[in-house]
Structure formats: structure tokens, C-alpha cells
């Protein structure tokens, strides 16, 4: 499960894109459930309430006809500042795949430099894991289960390195860099993937 602070910032990132209800956030997270842990209702709603209490989001109740009222959450200026502070922090060198994907989902909020640093940091980490797996694979006498596990890990690492290399190359292209430079004033990078 992603830590409470991480999910709070991720929720802020989602709300910075558009106001959403708790159900909308839960549905979006569920669509990514194989990449990131889906917080339970027991953690999602307390996170929303904490954000509200801290003045980082507002809530508007919309009465429903023939259905329950909906609470629509929107990010505040203070919430936007908290989100930008979090996004500008370097990723933890031991960040999990889930934390990487959460930041990746908010890539449109990162500066060009911040996005490249995030991807390069992940690339270095995956390359180190791949090397460790290759060294572990050199061990003689490994049983079938261990060999399959190592092969699976190596395949995942190779696929992720391929994606990271092509994405870093695409983001470094002059045409994209010029477009990103125009957007740098606002602090955001626009990507066409």
C-alpha cells in the first residue's frame, strides 16, 4: 500500500487536473490497480478529510435527483503549492514502482528538468536491479523456481529500460524541448505520448 503522505499528494495531483468526487478518485485508482495499490475506502476518505481539514482542498455538495448527494473536491491554492513542493522534491532512491507510477501519472505537472530527472533516476535504479539479477543468475544449481523468477525479473527490467530509454530520447528531442521551454514559464511540460 502506498503511504498516506504519498496518496495525499497523488490525490492533490488528480484534483489539480479536475474536481472529482471520492468515488471518481477511487474509480480512477482502481483502473490503475495493477500498477499502484488501490487505497481502501478506509484510507481514501480519511485522506480527503485530512486534505480538507488542512485547507488543501474544498468540497462542494451537489444534491442529486433520485440519487444521493455527491461531494466534489477541488484543490485550493495552498493545495497547489503543497503539490508543487512535493513534485519538486527528488524521488526517494528506494522509491517503489508504485510511487514511480504515481509521479508518472502527474508528469504534466512536472517541469521538463524535473520529469527528466525523475525518469533518469528510475533508469539508474532499474539498471542496478537488472545487474543484480544478472549476477544472481550466474549462480550454479538454481532450482526451476529461482530460474523462472530471475528470468521474469530480467524480462521486466529489460522492458522497462527499453521504455525509459525511448521516452528519455523522445523527451530530449529539440522539437519537444522547444515546446517544453515555452511551457517552462508555467512550470509544466506538455507531452504527446
Query: Scanning the structure block, which residue is given the C-alpha cell 480512477?
Result: 28
> 24 and 68, same structural domain?
yes
Tens of pLDDT, residue by residue over 86-137, are 888 877 766 778 888 888 888 888 888 889 988 999 999 999 999 999 988 8
Residue 173, phi then psi, degrees to nearest 5:
-65, 140
Residue 189, pLDDT above cutoff 60 = no
Number of compact structural domains in the chain: 2
Last residue of a domain, one of 58, 88, 118: 88
Asked if residues 38 and 30 have their Cβ atoms less than 8 Å apart, the reply is yes
Q: Given this model, what pLDDT does residue 50 score?
A: 95
Residues 138 and 75 grouped into a single domain = no
pLDDT of amino acid 37:
66
Query: Are residues 119 and 66 located together in one domain of the fold?
Result: no
**Residue 47, domain member (yes or no):** yes
Give the cell for residue 135: 549476477
125 lies in which domain range? 110-184
Tell whether 119 is covered by a domain: yes
Indicate whether 192 pLDDT > 60: no
More confidently predicted of 34 and 161: 161
Q: Are residues 68 and 136 in the same domain?
A: no
Per the structure block, which three cell numbers stand in for 64?
Answer: 442529486
What are the backbone angles phi and psi of residue 91, rounded to the nearest 5°? -65, 145
CA atoms within 13 A of residue 26's CA, in its CB half-sphere: 14
State pLDDT tens for residues 63-86: 878 888 899 999 999 999 999 998
* Predicted model pTM: 0.73
Claim to verify: residue 143 and residue 71 sit in the same structural domain: no
On whether residue 94 sits in a domain, the answer given is: no
Burial group, residue 75, by CB count within 10 angstroms (0-12, 13-18, 19+): buried
**Which pLDDT does position 152 carry in this prediction?**
94
Spatial strand order of the sheet with 20-21 comes to 20-21, 70-75, 57-62
Q: Is residue 98 part of a domain?
A: no
pLDDT confidence bin for 186, thresholds 50/70/90:
very low
- Residues of the chain with pLDDT > 70, as a percent, come to 82
Compute the distance between CA of residue 9 and CA of residue 82 in angstroms, rounded to an integer.
8
**What are the backbone dihedrals phi and psi of residue 52, each rounded to the nearest 5 degrees, phi first?**
-65, -45
The answer to whether the beta carbons of residues 13 and 47 sit under 8 Å apart is no
154: in domain: yes
User: Which residues are paired to 72 by β-bridges?
Assistant: 21, 60
Phi, psi of 70 (to 5 degrees): -115, 140
Amino acid at each position: 500500500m502506498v503511504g498516506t503522505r504519498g496518496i495525499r499528494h497523488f490525490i492533490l495531483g488528480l484534483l489539480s487536473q479536475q474536481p472529482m468526487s471520492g468515488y471518481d478518485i477511487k474509480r480512477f485508482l482502481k483502473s490503475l490497480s495493477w500498477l499502484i495499490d488501490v487505497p481502501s475506502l478506509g484510507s481514501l476518505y480519511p485522506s480527503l478529510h485530512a486534505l480538507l481539514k488542512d485547507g488543501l482542498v474544498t468540497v462542494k455538495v451537489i444534491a442529486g435527483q433520485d440519487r444521493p448527494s455527491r461531494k466534489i473536491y477541488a484543490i485550493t491554492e495552498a493545495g497547489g503549492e503543497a503539490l508543487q513542493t512535493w513534485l519538486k522534491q527528488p524521488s526517494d532512491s528506494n522509491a517503489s514502482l508504485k510511487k514511480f507510477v504515481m509521479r508518472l501519472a502527474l508528469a504534466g505537472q512536472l517541469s521538463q528538468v524535473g520529469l527528466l530527472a525523475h525518469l533518469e533516476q528510475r533508469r539508474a535504479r532499474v539498471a542496478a536491479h537488472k545487474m543484480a539479477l544478472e549476477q544472481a543468475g550466474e549462480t550454479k544449481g538454481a532450482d526451476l523456481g529461482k530460474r523462472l523468477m530471475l528470468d521474469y525479473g530480467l524480462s521486466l527490467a529489460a522492458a522497462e529500460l527499453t521504455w525509459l530509454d525511448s521516452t528519455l530520447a523522445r523527451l530530449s528531442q529539440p522539437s519537444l524541448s522547444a515546446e517544453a521551454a515555452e511551457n517552462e514559464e508555467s512550470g509544466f511540460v506538455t507531452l504527446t505520448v
